[in-house]
A and B are shown apart, each in its own frame.
Chain A
Amino acid sequence: MTRVSVDADRCTGHGRCYTLAPDIFDADEVGHSIVRIREVTGELEKHAVTGEQNCPEQAITLSP
């Protein structure tokens, strides 16, 4: 299982995570990222990694 978190201070709304992994991430009212599913397993873990790797601000953290 992997925990997903977004650092709101770092996120500036590039929107890469919720575009590439909409199952896990969503946009708030200003277009910044929010986490829809905080604990992911299996296929969803891969989506979470895609979101994390594509964040230009390194605002997403995945932890065991």
Chain B
Amino acid sequence: MTETEGYVDQAMMGLAEPQPMYKALRESTPVFHSPQSVVLSRLADIETALKHTELFSSNMDAVDLGNVRPLIPLQIDPPEHAKYRRILDPLFTPREMARREPGVTALVNDMIDRFADRGECDFHSEFAVPLPCTVFLQLLGLPLEDLDKFLEWKDGVIRPEGDSGYDRRHETSAPVAQQIYEYFDRAIDDHIASPRDDVLSAMIAANVESEGRPLSREELLDICFLFLIAGLDTVTDSLDCFFVYLARHPDHRHQLADQPDILPTAIEELLRWETPVPGVARVAIQDAEVGGCPISKGERVSPLLGAANTDPAEFPDPEVVDFNRNPNRHRAFGGGPHRCLGSHLARMELRVALREFHRRIPDYEIKPGTQLTYTAALRSVESLPLTFPVASPVSNPDSNPVSKP
């Protein structure tokens, strides 16, 4: 095995610090034909792959999650793609997300209340996992007691048990996918019977402008399925990556605790550096050439967003994490037509989480002796034990400590 193959293999396994791998790839084999896919690591080539959907499709051949129809809008390419984004984008604008911010702030504080007096927590299982899942259930108007079921399902399709590579993915994730379709089918019935102020009701009421019709049952299901995959794990990954970084870099952490105003740009810089979704999946639908290298029709292509985000052609001193970096044209949310639909939801969740956590627990460290295990493909850690001083005088202003068990 060559050194480059070794790096790519590690990337698939999940890396604590992938940035040196990105650099090595970019400098040695920027268009790398691995056994699984053609890995792109230069920003210019990644841009090409993300923007030229007529060459590099995001269709069902790019990644298999057990779904039986294309996920909407991820697996639908332009021009048809636009009709769905026209319905969905307005539901996820910064303004729409700001409306949800007070509710998320209360939720985050409730979660911190559960471990603040303990002096330690498993940040991953007690915070990073339940936060985005609970927000997702609230946003779609689904019962909060379905949380555990959702967690099992999203892991079942994103990290199927005994996952042995692309070709056997379908058979392991298909049964889980079936349960997901059935669940949302019932949820849609329920929302049709009693509409309310949530994203699912809004989608049911929406009109496909160009065709003058509502979304069909199958289209609704295909959107819900995608939301489950795209909306839960990615924010968990971001929180895990950010808190590992901040635990290990006290100066950066103090900057956040001391100057909360810096949060929005700090989050962009952490997104750039950590790139919690390190790559996306495409498939060549025509013979093409990228960076002088031929790519054949049918080959899978992996634009490494993390490598784009550390490319010195775009970012001066890419290895320096600077919370004031400007400009910061990172691609952590991808780019082109399939740019992350939920980016403003993610930003809002991350902003609230980092603001409230550091207001209440400004100092913490990773429990000594902990070996962090990063998961494959999307960068979460299996467990993140944090320890911190108790009896912080700053408490949750919204809660009455007497009533807490």
- Which residue numbers of A lie inside 8 Å of B, CB to CB? 12-16, 18-19, 27, 29-32, 50, 53-57
Contacts and interface: CB of A to CB of B under 8 A. Distances in A.
A16 B264 CA distance: 11
A54 B329 CA distance: 5
B326 A50 contact: yes
A15 B343 contact: yes
Given A14-B333, A15-B94, A30-B90, 9 more contacts: A12-B336, A12-B339, A13-B339, A15-B343, A19-B94, A30-B89, A30-B93, A54-B328, A56-B329
Interface residues of B, number: 22
Given A14-B333, A14-B343, A19 B327 contact: no
Nearest to B333: A14
12 contacts: A12-B335, A12-B336, A14-B343, A15-B343, A15-B344, A27-B94, A30-B90, A31-B344, A53-B326, A54-B326, A54-B329, A55-B329
A56 B92 contact: no
Nearest to B95: A27
Given A14-B343, A50-B327, A56 B335 contact: yes
Return the 10 tightest CB-CB contacts between A and B, nearest first: A53-B327, A31-B93, A30-B89, A12-B339, A54-B327, A56-B329, A30-B90, A31-B89, A29-B90, A15-B94
A31 B339 contact: no
Chain B at the A interface: SS class: helix
Contacts, number: 52
Nearest to B314: A56
Given A15-B343, A30-B85, A53 B329 contact: yes
B355 interface: no
A60 B85 CA distance: 21
Contacts of A14: 333, 339, 343
B337 interface: yes
Nearest to A54: B327
A7 B264 CA distance: 25
A4 B326 CA distance: 19
A57 B92 contact: no
A interface: dominant SS: loop
Interface string B326-369: 11111101011101000110000000000000000000000000
Nearest to A53: B327
A36 B270 CA distance: 30
B86 interface: yes
A55 B326 CA distance: 11
Interface string B81-117: 0000110011011110000000000000000000000
Given A31-B89, A31-B93, A57 B335 contact: yes
Nearest to A57: B335
Interface string B300-335: 000000000000000000000000001111110101
Nearest to B96: A31
Nearest to A15: B94
Contacts of B337: 12
Give the most central of B95, B264, B331: most A CB within 10 Å.
B95
A30 B343 contact: no
Contacts of B90: 29-31
